[in-house]
């Protein structure tokens, strides 16, 4: 086993070569900060999102899902503070006009042209994408592509309470696109202008916040383990007072050792009643929650776990990327958990010019496909090449139909991590490739 550390280039080139992620609008020279998912990347991303949904919504009794519109009334973003304060400090080089986020560079010298002291004072740049809704282009039609999914949850708080009347504590979850006009998108999908979030607002009685916060820390850690992220690569950063938003009483950034260094993967924040009170004050609608036991009405507080899908996917790929040596040859493969692998099983006939083998392999393929869906037919190149290709995309099992299969109704199952092969009866095959 080689202990060479995975580089960002390893991941980017694998993603492009094997159909995970492509540069957005690539045929026209690209559009910075946008990415397109190919067949395998899309499936991997969905597997991650579905696991999150299953873990945090379907498997629990206290969670409700919503899917709010991306375009929202501009009052949402005025009330939430985004119009005034969702900004990053922008600096421009007086020499070459390159623009940077002030806190991402050493402003003593321009990274593009090398000129010294060419930056004036930073100005605040709002990261929301502005647009107009409807045919009239004036201030009243202004809207924004949402920079987070959370506000679509808060604005539906009252709707969910009125429809379901849940007991406190309960949560509302949402997955979906978010847009930020990042000054310098970089590091592959890590900092994109269009990305996806998975967020929960967990509504609580403030007297319970400390205990519930701890429960969330544990739940998040358990989820990260299901993704195959090594515990040693995940770090909890207790955000100090001076760096926290003024309304937050506690925030933990979960950081991960990405190939680009230790960076934020997701955040967990106790946001008090800041958001619901803003909505109440600006909409004039009460956000009161009336407990069923007759105790006094309250505006609940929230604890917010906020995951980014792209960063999660990058952490999964970083953790899974493995290099070893097989029969004296170097190989790189994705050691993905079976439940995340975009292709669970690849099926091939030993030789593709033998109709009887192809016919039998097609039967096996149909049987597995019906059971698992993400099964790939792969008869390109020789068997060795197929294994290499499937290893690279993280396929845990390769099933090969050979001449013996026609006699004994058995197939060869080859395991990705060990490269070991075993004979498995067709009657037992579906169960054998389960985990």
Q: If we measure between CA atoms, which residue out of 247, 254, 249, 243 comes closest to residue 217?
A: 254
Give least dist CB 204 to ligand ATP, A. Answer: 20
311 binds ligand ATP (CB under 6 A): yes
Give the pair of three-digit tokens for residue 209.
């916040």
Stretch that binds ligand ATP, among 113-121, 214-222, 259-267, 380-388 (CB under 6 A): 259-267
Give least dist CB 149 to ligand ATP, A. Answer: 9
Give least dist CB 269 to ligand ATP, A. Answer: 8
Give least dist CB 150 to ligand ATP, A. Answer: 9
**Cβ-based neighbour number of residue 213 at 10 Å:** 19
- 410 forms beta bridges with 425
266 binds ligand ATP (CB under 6 A): yes
- 124 forms beta bridges with 89
Instruction: Please say which residue, 88 or 378, places its beta carbon nearer to ligand ATP.
Output: 88
Select the residue interacting with ligand ATP from 47, 151, 175, 192 (CB under 6 A).
192
**By Cβ distance, which residue is nearest to ligand ATP?**
308
Instruction: Please say which residue, 190 or 365, places its beta carbon nearer to ligand ATP.
Output: 190
Q: Are 428 and 367 in contact (CB under 8 A)?
A: no
Give the pair of three-digit tokens for residue 126.
């709002």
Instruction: Please say which residue, 103 or 225, places its beta carbon nearer to ligand ATP.
Output: 103
> What does the alpha-carbon distance between residue 303 and residue 209 come to, in Å, rounded to a whole number?
8
State CA 82 to chain mean position distance: 23
191 binds ligand ATP (CB under 6 A): yes
Select the residue interacting with ligand ATP from 57, 63, 151, 182 (CB under 6 A).
182
- Contacts with ligand ATP by CB under 6 A: the residue count is 13
Instruction: Please say which residue, 22 or 372, places its beta carbon nearer to ligand ATP.
Output: 22
- 330 forms beta bridges with 325
Q: Which helix (H) or strand (E) holds 207?
A: none
Give least dist CB 180 to ligand ATP, A. Answer: 5
DSSP states of 34-69: -EEE-HHHHHHHHHHHHHHHIIIIIT-SSEEE----
267 binds ligand ATP (CB under 6 A): yes
Q: Are 114 and 93 in contact (CB under 8 A)?
A: no
176 binds ligand ATP (CB under 6 A): no
Stretch that binds ligand ATP, among 263-271, 284-292, 333-341, 397-405 (CB under 6 A): 263-271
Q: Are 149 and 275 in contact (CB under 8 A)?
A: no
264 binds ligand ATP (CB under 6 A): yes
Q: Beta 129-132 vs 142-145: how paired, if at all? A: antiparallel
Residue at token pair 């989820």: 223
349 binds ligand ATP (CB under 6 A): no
180 binds ligand ATP (CB under 6 A): yes
Q: 3-state class of 116 per DSSP? A: strand
Give the pair of three-digit tokens for residue 421.
């092969």
197 binds ligand ATP (CB under 6 A): yes
Stretch that binds ligand ATP, among 53-61, 304-312, 358-366, 412-420 (CB under 6 A): 304-312
Give least dist CB 245 to ligand ATP, A. Answer: 10
Q: If we measure between CA atoms, which residue out of 429, 412, 394, 379 comes closest to residue 48?
A: 394
State CA 76 to chain mean position distance: 25
Give least dist CB 266 to ligand ATP, A. Answer: 5
Q: Which helix (H) or strand (E) holds 262?
A: strand 261-272
**Cβ-based neighbour number of residue 156 at 10 Å:** 18
Give least dist CB 264 to ligand ATP, A. Answer: 5
Instruction: Please say which residue, 23 or 306, places its beta carbon nearer to ligand ATP.
Output: 306
255 binds ligand ATP (CB under 6 A): no
Residues 6+ apart with CB under 8 A from 229: 256, 315, 316, 319
Give least dist CB 122 to ligand ATP, A. Answer: 16
Q: Are 66 and 153 in contact (CB under 8 A)?
A: yes
Give least dist CB 182 to ligand ATP, A. Answer: 5
195 binds ligand ATP (CB under 6 A): yes
Residue at token pair 């679509």: 152
23 binds ligand ATP (CB under 6 A): no
275 binds ligand ATP (CB under 6 A): no
Enumerate binding residues for ligand ATP (CB under 6 A). 180, 182, 191-192, 195, 197, 264, 266-267, 306, 308, 310-311
């Amino acid at each position: 086993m080689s202990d060479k550390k995975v580089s960002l280039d390893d991941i980017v080139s694998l993603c492009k070569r094997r159909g995970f992620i492509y540069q957005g609008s690539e045929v026209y020279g690209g559009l910075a900060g946008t990415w397109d998912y190919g067949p395998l990347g899309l499936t991997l991303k969905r597997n991650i999102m579905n696991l999150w949904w299953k873990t945090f919504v379907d498997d629990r009794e206290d969670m409700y899902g919503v899917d709010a519109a991306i375009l929202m009334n501009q009052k949402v973003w005025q009330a939430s503070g985004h119009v005034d304060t969702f900004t990053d400090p922008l600096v421009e080089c007086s020499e070459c006009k390159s623009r940077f986020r002030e806190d991402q560079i050493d402003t003593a010298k321009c990274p593009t042209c090398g000129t010294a002291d060419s930056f004036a004072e930073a100005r605040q740049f709002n990261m929301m994408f502005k647009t107009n809704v409807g045919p009239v282009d004036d201030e009243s039609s202004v809207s924004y592509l949402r920079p987070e999914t959370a506000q679509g949850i808060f604005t539906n708080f009252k709707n969910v309470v009125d429809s379901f009347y849940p007991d406190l504590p309960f949560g509302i979850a949402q997955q979906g696109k978010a847009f930020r006009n990042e000054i310098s998108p970089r590091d592959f999908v890590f900092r994109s202008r269009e990305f996806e979030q998975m967020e929960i607002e967990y509504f609580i009685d403030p007297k319970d916040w400390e205990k519930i916060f701890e429960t969330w820390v544990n739940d998040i850690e358990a989820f990260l383990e299901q993704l195959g992220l090594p515990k040693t690569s995940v770090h909890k950063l207790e955000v100090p007072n001076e760096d926290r938003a003024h309304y937050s009483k506690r925030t933990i950034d979960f950081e991960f050792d990405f190939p680009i260094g230790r960076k934020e993967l997701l955040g967990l924040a106790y946001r008090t009643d800041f958001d619901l009170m803003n909505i109440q004050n600006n909409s004039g609608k009460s956000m009161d929650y009336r407990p069923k036991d007759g105790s006094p009405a309250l505006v609940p507080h929230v604890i917010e776990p906020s995951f980014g899908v792209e960063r999660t996917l990058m952490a999964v790929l970083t953790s899974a990327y493995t290099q070893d040596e097989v029969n004296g040859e170097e190989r790189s493969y994705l050691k993905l958990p079976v439940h995340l692998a975009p292709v669970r099983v690849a099926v091939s006939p030993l030789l593709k010019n033998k109709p009887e083998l192809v016919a039998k392999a097609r039967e096996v393929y149909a049987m597995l496909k019906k059971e698992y869906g993400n099964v790939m037919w792969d008869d390109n190149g020789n068997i060795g090449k197929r294994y290499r290709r499937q290893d690279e995309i993280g396929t845990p099992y390769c099933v090969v139909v050979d001449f013996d299969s026609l006699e004994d109704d058995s197939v060869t199952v080859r395991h990705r991590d060990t490269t070991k092969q075993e004979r498995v009866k067709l009657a037992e095959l579906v169960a054998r490739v389960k985990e």
